[in-house]
Structure 1
């Protein structure tokens, strides 16, 4: 199990630094599947598998998004003047999203995850503004739009444990950002969600779960450690490709990865 998690962490690191996913699109479906396979669907851990996968994925983002942000900052690909206004609103939304996830059943969280992925993919394919070559001139947002968008991003990302990439990348893409700039901004915007969301998952679930000594609420600490090591290796290996992937290919691979994760979550029970 842990060798698979190490490989999964490496893949999560690659997708974090190149696509801004924060690892959740890789970690959530795989960890969910592993927990069901190892413990059985009727065990206590099996019944809470989706909550554990989401909470552990959110905790991993604290590490992965921090390291990926530093890598992008060194390459000067982060547009900080667009990132800063969203940070506080995303953190507030993350508390709401994590609290909602704890109160919902794992099956509900799973199907919300599936539904949101499907909507995101269809929107990117059918609505103009994502797949075309961007101009690179990013249009800023007004204060009200920033507040509403940031809170929504934080809430949905923490609810699903996937980071803000699924919303921030299409958002920035349609405002004129290249894929490199959009994915670079997704990493620092995942950080406030990850910190607030992880704290909320641990505090709200610690008294109601009893999975063993290696759990902090719904966060699987052993899995988190192995995933973090793998993520560090993946980020180091993939950093050489920052800014080198052609824009059109970058956008299409982003959607392909979303489609693969959607298929896994639909057909794995």
Structure 2
């Protein structure tokens, strides 16, 4: 779990993934004894990890980079509202359904990034806005927040491609995903911590706070936070196109991890 925490620190900085895509599969596998409820615990634990990782990553991001979010602030309130609805919905939905939707959503995203112009292949210059990257429209906030909180993914899998197609480099798009992830993960975490926990018989081997696996969250954060601090101060120089391909490669690994994990379908 500590090793996965190191990985989430890297993905937080390089791809804007505050922990959701890396944390959900490993918590599902670690808490497999919970059966179908492992997915519910994994999404709740992921939300806590994302709040801390995204908050820390945002505070250590250069102010000029965060300035690129100007014009998209109207997105924040719809993101939070959608996330609240998504967090409540995931408590009511069958865990197996959430799991299948998680895999399907990431798989569809991979296909979209590969086939639709704008992520790997820049749009034609005539389509580029004359005054720089476009802000994300506020109308996208509620659906992004709802889907991200429902699946426990944090939203970066939607916001990074959207900002990339709006004209940002991968470096900037990944950095800006952190404050947006924080907006989504905060209400999702509140719902997870305040909700009804699983029956004691089902969670005897796991220390749960609400639906959050406290031990897993602590280990993930212990691995992630030092990595975030180091990489934000000394970011690696990665060519933009390779950075984009690495983003797709990470999503592919996540899908494979979910399909190969040992929880019964």
Taking structure 1 as reference, are residues 209 and 81 closer, same or farther at Cα in structure 2, changes over 3 Å only? farther
Q: Does 1:267 align with 2:260?
A: yes
Structure 1 residue runs without a partner (length 5+): 40-44
Per-residue CA shift, 1:131-164, capped at 9, x if unaligned?
13587921134xxx41x31111111111111111
**What is the CA RMSD across the aligned residues, in angstroms?**
1.9
In structure 1, the partner of 2:133 is 138
- Does the 8 A contact of 1:14 with 1:237 survive in 2? no
Compute the TM-score of the two structures, normalised by the length of structure 2.
Answer: 0.89
In the alignment, which of 158, 173, 180 is matched to residue 167 of structure 1? 158
Q: Which segments of 5 or more consecutive residues in structure 2 lack a partner in the other structure? A: none
Secondary structure at the aligned position of 1:187 is classed as helix
TM-score, normalised on structure 1?
0.87
How big is the shift at 1:239?
2.4
TM-aligned CA distance change 1:100 to 1:169, over 3 Å: same
* Alpha-carbon distance in structure 2 between the residues aligned to 1:70 and 1:83: 18
Q: Which residue of 2 aligns with 1:42?
A: none
Is the contact between residue 72 and residue 135 of structure 2 (CA under 8 Å) also seen in structure 1? no
SS of residue in 2 equivalent to 1:256:
helix
User: Contact (CA 8 Å) 2:57, 2:229: kept in 1 or not?
Assistant: no
Q: 1:14 aligns with which of 3, 10, 14?
A: 10
Question: What's the counterpart of residue 184 of structure 1?
Answer: 175
- For residue 87 of structure 1, report the CA deviation from its aligned partner: 1.2
| CA distance in 2: counterparts of 1:180 and 1:95, whole angstroms | 28
| Structure 2 counterpart of 1:247, from 234, 240, 248 | 240
Q: Which structure's residues are more often helix, by fraction?
A: 1
**Aligned pair 1:84/2:73, yes or no?**
yes
Distance 1:234 1:160 in 2: 25
